Chain A
């Protein structure tokens, strides 16, 4: 029943919650691909995980590497960083295929930042087709809500189901990188993500002030507990330069992220200033890398992209040598 409705156009808002829930209840087990043959060492790891009652980590079909952009704290610029990171990865190598998954179910920002709107259509295999802009495939809960004023008032169980669907029921197709924009906190979404798919790296975004670092520390700690490699720390809104007199003000503090990175033995992989252009371009749906590619702010995001690729390579080499 649920699939028939989906195949017409996008999912009807007023029935969305009950449809998604009943669909997951019936179909979640059948949706997962059959177990693949694995080497002895991965079989042992899988066995110990299953004994602990944890789900098995299964890669998303067609996706090579998954990078999550997280924080713990809200409002530090995760979505802005995720969008510009994805665009910079594309900019650094135009042959690479990049996608963005907006895992912030309650406050999806990717539709606005990428200037995309639903409906979402299904392909012949009944998988949702991601929307594309600036050559980046995107999927967000925001595309599935008819009226953007409507809140998503879901308890954790529903959110888990929705995240599963956004991971498994989307035709991501062949992708080199999937950048996941995580919501704030260390709850259901983060756990579901890290327990269900192999994540190649987590980028921790923070602003310099103590209350942000406190949550960023918790976010980093969480990823370490669930054995997700942390690529590094991005210091966002680091300094503000007055456009009139050029005075530099560290509005949200100074060096906070640098100290956090040292403390947690992580590199600083990005330093993004506080600049009005970044906010303006995000609000207008033309991210700064696309609209002002030669600006110093865009350059900062490109440097982040380079550092992320380098760190992914280092971690991959380390894993091979083990």
Chain B
């Protein structure tokens, strides 16, 4: 990874971002990046109004004279997991690189340029290179990602955090104090070893005065595609119980969905299959609660 020069051009570079959401957990492997990606995709599309069951592009709507409820939502996705950046892989944009002129330029995912991503993954010459960083270097990188990236006028900036309560978390919170931080969305799987870590993360959020948007229980049950039997491989209800116990909103459950991991492994057609599943409806319901 090349050494990056620290340059601060604007005093409050994220002041124009309307909503900043942290996706956190405490526990690893619960689906933070997965939820962050699908949340970003749905928020980006939330600007489109579905008319008579057909998705219509903005130009066509203008032609038809329909303007009510149409927006052009711009979403930014920051991959703050410096040692294990997954976002470029999940969105099939690994081969892209981030350019540096005055600042780092985020990488746009779509042709319409309404979803952009910044990740340390774009700065690697080889996707398999290990990123071995001690705390001070992590702090410097996080600071650059927040202050030295040319984000467009974002409606939402979603920050995918690594597990734990360490340098990245402390740095992100220190650097976001003066901005429109909506709060933290906590992801957990239902089992006890996961909810224990999430409980600690919740304490961390309370101590650092980060509003808690709510808890999402991921990998909550698996429905066999053959016999429809639902098995709670990772238990069930742990996330909801934690939310009730600590009096934070419970936003919903997402069942285990093989299509999610197939899509993330580069099978783009799987996104279409995934969008027709019940699991996609679960994410849709969570997004609706988030934006209301």
Q: Contact check: which of A153, A187, A282 meets B165 at CB < 8 Å?
A: A153
Please encode chain B, from 108 to 126, with 1 for each CB lying within 8 Å of some chain A CB and 0 for all others. Answer: 0000000000000000000
**8 Å CB contacts to A: which residues of B204-263?**
204, 207, 222, 224-227, 229, 231-235, 256, 258, 261-262
Query: Does A15 lie at the interface of the complex (its beta carbon under 8 Å from any beta carbon of B)?
Result: no
Query: Does B83 lie at the interface of the complex (its beta carbon under 8 Å from any beta carbon of A)?
Result: yes
Please encode chain A, from 134 to 165, with 1 for each CB lying within 8 Å of some chain B CB and 0 for all others. Answer: 00000000000000111111111101000000
CB nearest neighbor in A for B234: A279
Residue in A74, A240, A276, A283 with the greatest tally of chain B CB atoms within 10 Å: A74
CA of A45 to CA of B138, assembled, Å: 30
Give the secondary structure class of B's interface: loop
Please encode chain A, from 240 to 252, with 1 for each CB lying within 8 Å of some chain B CB and 0 for all others. Answer: 1011110101111
CB pair B261 A150 closer than 8 Å: no
Residue in B84, B138, B165, B232 with the greatest tally of chain A CB atoms within 10 Å: B84
Query: Does A253 lie at the interface of the complex (its beta carbon under 8 Å from any beta carbon of B)?
Result: yes
Please encode chain B, from 264 to 280, with 1 for each CB lying within 8 Å of some chain A CB and 0 for all others. Answer: 11100000000000000
Please encode chain B, from 156 to 173, with 1 for each CB lying within 8 Å of some chain A CB and 0 for all others. Answer: 000000111111011000
CB pair A74 B28 closer than 8 Å: yes
**8 Å CB contacts to B: which residues of A112-153?**
112-113, 148-153
Taking the closest CB of chain B, its distance from the CB of A270, in whole angstroms, is: 18
Q: How large is the interface on A (under 10, 10 to 19, 20 to 34, 35 or more residues)?
A: 35 or more
Q: Which residues of chain A are near B42, meaning CB under 8 Å?
A: none
Give the secondary structure class of A's interface: loop
CB pair B84 A73 closer than 8 Å: yes
Q: How many residue pairs, one in A and one in B, have C-beta atoms under 8 Å apart?
A: 205
Query: Does B86 lie at the interface of the complex (its beta carbon under 8 Å from any beta carbon of A)?
Result: yes
CB pair A242 B226 closer than 8 Å: yes
Q: Contact check: which of B127, B163, B225, B261 meets A106 at CB < 8 Å?
A: B163
CB pair B86 A211 closer than 8 Å: yes
Q: Which residues of chain A are near B196, meaning CB under 8 Å?
A: 107, 109, 112, 148
CB pair B84 A283 closer than 8 Å: no
Please encode chain A, from 199 to 215, with 1 for each CB lying within 8 Å of some chain B CB and 0 for all others. Answer: 00000000101111011
Q: For the A-B complex with A184-B162, A209-B261, A253-B261 known, give 9 more contacts whose Cβ atoms are closer than 8 Å.
A: A74-B30, A75-B30, A76-B29, A106-B165, A148-B196, A154-B166, A155-B167, A217-B128, A225-B130
In the complex, 10 of the A-B residue pairs with CB atoms within 8 angstroms, ordered by the A residue number, are A106-B165, A107-B27, A107-B163, A107-B197, A151-B200, A211-B89, A217-B128, A249-B225, A252-B261, A279-B234
Q: Please list the residues of chain A having a beta carbon within 8 angstroms of any beta carbon in chain B.
A: 72-76, 79, 106-107, 109, 112-113, 148-157, 159, 183-188, 190-191, 207, 209-212, 214-215, 217-219, 221-222, 225, 240, 242-245, 247, 249-253, 274-276, 279-280, 282-283
9 tightest A-B CB contacts, nearest first: A75-B29, A74-B28, A156-B135, A106-B164, A151-B200, A245-B227, A210-B265, A221-B130, A185-B83
